[in-house]
Structure 1
Amino acid sequence: MCLRPLAGDAGRGEFLPLQRGAGAVAERPCPAPAAAGPAWGSEPVGPQERSPMNFLAKIVARTLEESLRLFQSGKIEEFKAVIPGRLPPVSLKAALDHCPGTAVIAEVKRASPSKGEFAMHWDPVELARIYEKNSAAALSVLTERHYFKGEPDFIVQMRPEIGIPILRKDFILEPVQVYETAALGADALLLIVSLLELGQLRALLLLARSLNLEALVEVHTAAEMEQALAVGANLICINSRDLNTFAMHPDRALELAPLAPPGVTLVAASGLKTRADVERLEAAGIRGFLIGETLATAADTGAKLREFRGEMKPGRWPQV
C-alpha cells in the first residue's frame, strides 16, 4: 500500500492510502520525485501501451507523479490563493436537471488510449463555442496530457468565453488535483470509483464540495453504484466501457439506472452514436449524455449535437 500526504494539510501527518485500480497499480510503491526526461505527451504511445491494463497502470503512475510534483512545489498554496477570485461556479446538476429536452455534456476530446489521435485539428475554445451555440447543457474537458492530449489550461482559456458548466475530466486521485481544478475555473470534476478506495472517494467528494465544486462520480458495476451512493453522490455517470478491459457493455446504463434513488441525476457515457441510443436511455431515466468522439469527428459537429438533442433528423446537417 502506498501512503501519501493529504495535500490539503501540507504534509502535517494526514495520509490517504491508494490501492485500488488495475491489479498492477494495487502493488506499486510510492512514486519517487521525477527525474528530468521527456515532457508529458512527447513519448510515443504504441499498441502495447494502449492495452487496458498497461493503460490503467501507467495513467495512475503518471497522475501520481504529477500530483507529487504539484504537492512538493507548493503549488497548492497558489491554488488556494486563486480560488476565492474565480468566477462563481455554475451547477452541473442543475444544468442537467433543468435542461429543456435532451441534456448533452459535450466533450472536448482530441485523442484516447483506444483510438489514438482523432481530433487534434480542433482549437479547444472554438469547439467549446460550437457546443454552447448548439445548446449543449455542459462541457466536459479532457485535461490528461499523455493519452488524451489535453491540457489543464484549456479550462482557463474557456472559462471567460463559456457560460455553461465545465466538467474537468481527468484521473483525480489526490487532493492537490481538486484544489487545482477549482483554481482552473472548472465547475465540476470526475471521480472514478474503480480507482479509489471508499474512504478516498468520500474525502475527495467532500473536499470538492467544500470548494464549491460538484463531483460526477463514475461507475461501471452495481457494486460501484452502491459505493457511489454510500458516499452521498448525487451526480452519477454510468460508463458502458470497462476501463479494465476496454470492453463495451451497451446495456450497462439500463441495468444500473434502477439502482439510483430519486434525487440522483444519472449520466450515460461511452458508445453513444445515434439519437436512438439516447432515446432508449432517456426512457430508462437517464438525464444526461456525455458524448465526445462522435461529436468531434462529425462532418458537422453542431448539427450532430442538435441531432442528439432531437432537434433535426439524422443526415440533414446544414453548416453552422
Structure 2
Amino acid sequence: MLADLTAGALHDARERELLRPLSVVESAAADAAPPLDALCALSPAASVKIIAEVKRASPSRGDLADIPDPAQLAVSYERGGASAISVLTEGRKFKGSLDDLVNVRNSVEIPVLRKDFISIPYQVFEARAAGADIALLIVAALDQRTLAELYSLITDLGMTALVETHSADELERALDLGAGLIGVNARDLSTFELDRDLFGHLAPQIPSGVIRVAESAVKSPSDVAHYREAGADVVLIGEALVTSDPILTLGEFLAV
C-alpha cells in the first residue's frame, strides 16, 4: 500500500510539473512568507499538544467527511486549541489537494503541515510555495540517501520535517538525520494494521530534546492519555475529529 501511495503521488507530482515547471515552483517558494517555527509551537509543555488534521478520506476507511471548506475547519481547530494543522494533500486515496493547503495557510496563524507521500524535491518546493511550515517524510518510503537529501532541502527552505517512523530501525534512521520532530505511526502503512502500543515501545529510544509525536489509533480521550503517559509531546489526530463535533472532541482530547 505504501509503495502504491508513494508511486501515485510521484506520478501526480510529475503531471503537475509539466504544467508548472520546477523553476516556477522554486520562485514561488522563495517569494512565500517565511515559515513559522514549528519546533517552538510543538515544544513539550505541561499538557499534550495536538496537530489537528484536515482529512476527507483514507485508504483503510474510505470517505470520512466531505469538508467543503478546509479553511473553516482549520480555523475551528485553531480556536479550539490545536497547536498545528495537518493538511492531507494526496488526491487519489485521501481526496486532498494543494489548494486545501493554501486555503488553510491563509486562514490560520499556527504552523501547517503538508501531509503527503513526498519522494522528490519538487514536492518539497510545492509545499513551501503553498505556505507549508512542516513537511512529512515517511522513512519507510525512502532510501536513506533520498531521505537525507529531502530532509536537508526542507531544512534549507526554513521548514521543519516531521520524520515518520514505524520501527526501531526506522527510528534510528530518523535520528541519524538529526531530526528534531519525530513521529511514530501506529498504523503500518504497508498493511494498514494498527498497534497502539508501538509508540510506547519506541519512545524511550527518542532522546531528550527531540519532540515526540504519536500518530494514528486515536478514537477517544483515553487513547490520547495512553500516548501521553507513554511520553508523547504531541498527538496527531484526524479521523476522530472529522467524524465528530471537532471543537467538542478537540476540547476533550486537550483536557487529558
Same fold, TM-score > 0.5, yes or no? yes
Q: Does the 8 A contact of 2:214 with 2:235 survive in 1?
A: yes
**1:58 matched to 2:7:** no
**1:305 matched to 2:250:** yes
1:239-250 maps to which residues of 2 (within 5 A)?
Answer: 239-250=185-196
**1:241 aligns to what SS in structure 2?**
coil
Which residues of structure 2 form unaligned runs of 5+? Answer: none
Q: 1:159 aligns with which of 101, 105, 116?
A: 105
Q: Which residue does the alignment assign to 1:111?
A: 57
CA RMSD of aligned residues (A): 1.5
**1:193 matched to 2:165:** no
Q: Which residue does the alignment assign to 1:168?
A: 114
**1:84 matched to 2:38:** no
Q: Which residue does the alignment assign to 2:43?
A: 97
Aligned residues: 256
Q: Which residue does the alignment assign to 1:134?
A: 80
**1:125 aligns to what SS in structure 2?**
helix
**1:182 matched to 2:128:** yes
Separation (CA, whole Å) in 2 of partners of 1:215 and 1:278: 23
Q: Does the 8 A contact of 1:110 with 1:117 survive in 2?
A: yes
Q: Does the 8 A contact of 1:110 with 1:122 survive in 2?
A: no
1:1-320 maps to which residues of 2 (within 5 A)?
Answer: 55-73=1-19, 75-97=21-43, 101-298=47-244, 300-310=245-255
**2:42 aligns to what SS in structure 1?**
helix
Identity of aligned residues (%): 43
Separation (CA, whole Å) in 2 of partners of 1:278 and 1:231: 28
Separation (CA, whole Å) in 2 of partners of 1:66 and 1:220: 26
Separation (CA, whole Å) in 1 of partners of 2:67 and 2:202: 36
Deviating more after overlay: 88-97 vs 210-219: 88-97
Give how far 1:289 is off: 0.3
**2:161 aligns to what SS in structure 1?**
strand
Separation (CA, whole Å) in 2 of partners of 1:141 and 1:211: 19
**1:114 aligns to what SS in structure 2?**
coil
Give how far 1:57 is off: 3.7
Q: Deviations over 1:83-131 (max 9, x none)?
A: 2322221122211115563200000001000111110144211110110
**1:97 aligns to what SS in structure 2?**
coil
Give how far 1:163 is off: 0.2
Separation (CA, whole Å) in 2 of partners of 1:276 and 1:187: 30
Structure that is richer in helix per residue: 2
Q: Which protein has greater RCO, CA pairs closer than 8 Å, 6+ apart? A: 2
Separation (CA, whole Å) in 1 of partners of 2:120 and 2:25: 14
Give how far 1:160 is off: 2.0
Give how far 1:267 is off: 0.3
Separation (CA, whole Å) in 2 of partners of 1:211 and 1:153: 20
**1:267 aligns to what SS in structure 2?**
strand
TM-score, normalization: structure 1? 0.77
Separation (CA, whole Å) in 1 of partners of 2:10 and 2:111: 27
Give how far 1:80 is off: 1.6
